[in-house]
């Protein structure tokens, strides 16, 4: 077989192999990505607000969430409430927070059946102390990576299905992530 015939044969095989690859799922539109990022951001803002404001009534977040996540977040809300009250009794607690989001990245390689990508981002939160001497730091800060997953409800709206922070094994978690049921110190 001459060189030209081998090249044509190889090209034909490559075309056949490429035609066998499954079509990739269409990526979530940029508008939907913006909506998913806004849901994640609301969730993070609401966790910080739960720690820094008077005990809010109701659920941990205003973000739309699945029923399963809502049940888990009920335990988180109680843990944050206990942490807030403990900190207030010891040192005045926190009176406000600033939450920023960085390095947001959608993982389209692991989309679920509804086409929702996982969202990875870094939360940077600054918790301002309620009472501090002039010489002391006015705030504490932390940075956490998160992985969020989403699903569509029956009416076609996006809901947060999971929110997983990457907490250091054995480390002390930030005040916005006390461990539910771990006692008064979280």
Q: How would residue 73 be classed by pLDDT, with cut points 50, 70 and 90? A: very high
70: Cβ–Cβ under 8 A, 6 or more apart, which residues? Answer: 59
pLDDT at 176 over 80: yes
Lowest mean pLDDT among 79-88, 116-125, 142-151, 168-177: 168-177
Beta strands at 139-152 and 158-165: parallel, antiparallel or unpaired: antiparallel
Alpha-carbon separation of residue 50 from 53, 58, 92, 142, 155 (angstroms): 6, 11, 15, 17, 29
Domain boundaries, the chain: 27-165
C-alpha dist (Å) from residue 166 to 11, 103, 132 = 46, 15, 29
What number is the average pLDDT over the span 103-119? Answer: 76
pTM assigned to the model: 0.79
Could you tell me the pLDDT band of residue 135, with boundaries at 50, 70 and 90? confident
CATH code, 27-165:
3.10.450
CA distances from 119 to 31, 34, 72, 156, 184 (A): 14, 11, 20, 19, 32
The pLDDT of residue 130 = 86
Assess whether pLDDT exceeds 60 at residue 160. Answer: yes
Average pLDDT, the chain: 83
**pLDDT tens-place string over residues 2-56:** 655 554 455 455 455 455 554 444 456 677 889 999 999 999 999 999 999 986 7
**40 contacts 119 by C-beta, under 8 angstroms:** yes
Strand order in the sheet with 139-152: 94-107, 118-129, 139-152, 158-165
Q: Give the integer Cα–Cα distance in Å for 165 and 40.
A: 12
Q: How far apart are CA 116 and CA 149, in angstroms?
A: 7
Phi, psi of 152 (to 5 degrees): -95, 140
Provide the CB-side half-sphere exposure for 94 (13 A, CA).
Answer: 26
Residues 58-70 have pLDDT tens digits of 899 999 999 999 9
Measuring CA to CA, how many Å separate 77 from each of 15, 151, 171, 186?
56, 22, 21, 12
């Amino acid at each position: 077989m001459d060189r030209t015939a081998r090249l044509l044969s190889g090209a034909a095989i490559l075309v056949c192999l490429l035609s066998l690859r499954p079509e990739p799922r269409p990526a979530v539109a940029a508008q939907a990505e913006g909506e998913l990022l806004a849901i994640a951001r609301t969730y993070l803002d609401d966790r910080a607000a739960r720690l820094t404001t008077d005990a809010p009534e109701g659920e941990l977040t205003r973000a739309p969430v699945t029923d399963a996540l809502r049940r888990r977040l009920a335990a988180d809300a109680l843990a944050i409430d206990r942490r807030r009250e403990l900190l207030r009794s010891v040192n005045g607690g926190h009176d406000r927070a600033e939450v920023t989001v960085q390095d947001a990245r959608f993982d389209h390689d692991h989309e679920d059946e509804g086409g929702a990508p996982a969202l990875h981002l870094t939360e940077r939160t600054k918790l301002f102390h309620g009472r501090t001497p002039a010489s002391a730091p006015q705030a504490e800060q932390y940075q956490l990576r998160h992985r969020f997953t989403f699903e569509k409800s029956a009416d076609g709206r996006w809901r947060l299905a999971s929110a997983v922070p990457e907490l250091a094994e054995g480390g002390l978690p930030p005040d916005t992530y006390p461990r539910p049921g771990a006692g008064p110190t979280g």
